[in-house]
Amino acid sequence: MNPKVIIFDFDGTIADSLDALVNISNRLAVQFGYKQTSIAELAQIQNLTSREIIKQSGISIFKVPFLVKKVKAELSFEIKTLSLFPGMKEALIELHQLGNKLVIISSNSKPNIVSFLEHNALIDKFYYIYSGSTIFGKDKVINRFIRQENIDVKDVIYVGDETRDIESAKKSKVIAIAVSWGFNTKEVLMRQNPDYLIEQPSELIDIVKKQ
């Protein structure tokens, strides 16, 4: 097996942060001028693409970066209470042991991500962590990382739980793996035509070994 560079999204892919993020977003709704999300509405929203969600929320696109910054700050108080998705820790450890380089690219803050990984004894498994305003620009971050590290694009795999993750992976011409345990539903993820759609973290091992 040729070792790969495996780029992970963080929220919804590694960390089960959906409930915390929904609660925080609802607390900030009045401040940022959008309506709160009920449990019933959440199920419907999970069938929408990221762009459709922002459009439906009614929030000004110019407010989104400020909202993301505020959400990250609020999440810092809860980050150590979040859980890994079942089987994710074991998958990450095995992928690392196989010689792959593990990377995180996320719009969450680096202190939040590092705190979570340290709390779960995984910080030493990751080669690189990028945090920034990557709501719809992850492909640019992926491309810059590939250039900086002088990596062959054929050796890069991207793993994410949202439509925008798959969209970014395809723009960067890397293998796109969608996970069904995060934010978006399997149905809406399938419409993005990922290279793989998986239901268990352990499936990552088999896919990587075949590349």
Backbone angles phi, psi at 120, to 5 degrees: -105, 15
Q: Which residue has the tokens 């793996």?
A: 177
Reference 52, options 196, 167, 153; nearest CA is 167
Token pair in block for residue 100: 């792959």
139 is catalytic: no
What is the spatial distance between Cα 60 and Cα 75, in angstroms, rounded to a whole number? 22
Token pair in block for residue 210: 């075949």
What is the spatial distance between Cα 199 and Cα 211, in angstroms, rounded to a whole number? 19
Reference 182, options 204, 203, 159; nearest CA is 159
Task: Enumerate the active-site residues.
Answer: 9
